[in-house]
Amino acid sequence: MSLKDRITEDMKAAMRAKDAPRLTTIRMLLAACKQREVDERIVLDDAAVVGIVDKLIKQRKDSITAFQQGGREDLVAKEGAEVAVLEAYLPQRLSADEVASTIAALVSELGASGPGDMGKVMSAAKARLAGKAEMGLVSAAVKQALAR
């Protein structure tokens, strides 16, 4: 079963259970997937769906930061609940040590040295670690590896 099919089945289960917050979040995810399919005239595979989920989680985390600064704890809780629902659709993430070792291997593979090669290493890292690690963590690991 594809990830998109699993999300659709989860939406049906949330409808049956009358779980409105979960249902709203899943519908928002499916709408984002459908929008991308229509815009680009493609059928999304699991990797593309994971990319959309990553993007939506990042948006929610940015919103949480803004709401915390504004003192809106009710909205922080709502966005946090949405993040929890969305994270269920992500594959197992790599630890910081695993990301660092992968980046170190990638830097030596590419023969990169110094901050000038950041773009080259990041593009290769995105291809290799897409959906497996948070890109903020990957970026920090690349900066650290190139600083040596």
pLDDT in tens, 5-53: 999 999 999 999 999 999 999 999 999 999 999 999 999 998 889 889 9
Q: Can you give the pTM of this predicted structure?
A: 0.78
Report the candidate in 64, 67, 15, 55 with the shortest Cα–Cα distance to residue 7.
Answer: 15
Domains 3-87 and 96-147 in one fold: no
On whether the 3-87 domain is CATH 1.10.1510.10, my answer is: yes
Distance of CA 11 to the CA centre of its chain: 20
Percent of the chain with pLDDT over 70: 99
Q: Give the domain ranges of the chain.
A: 3-87, 96-147
Tens digit of each residue's pLDDT (9 = 90 or more) over 53-64: 989 999 999 999
Q: Mean pLDDT over residues 105-121, rounded?
A: 82
pLDDT of residue 53: 93
H or E element at residue 94 = none
Q: When comparing pLDDT for 123 and 85, which is higher?
A: 85
Residue 70 CA to residue 63 CA, distance in Å, equals 10
The alpha helices in 18-95, defined as continuous H runs, are 20-40, 46-70, 73-87
Domain 96-147 CATH (choose: 1.10.10.410, 3.30.1490.20, 1.10.287.1120, 3.40.50.2300): 1.10.10.410
Mean pLDDT of 114-128: 83
For residue 8, how far is the Cα from the chain centroid? 19
Mean pLDDT, the chain, whole residue set: 90
DSSP states along 40-58: HT----HHHHHHHHHHHHH
pLDDT at 82: 96
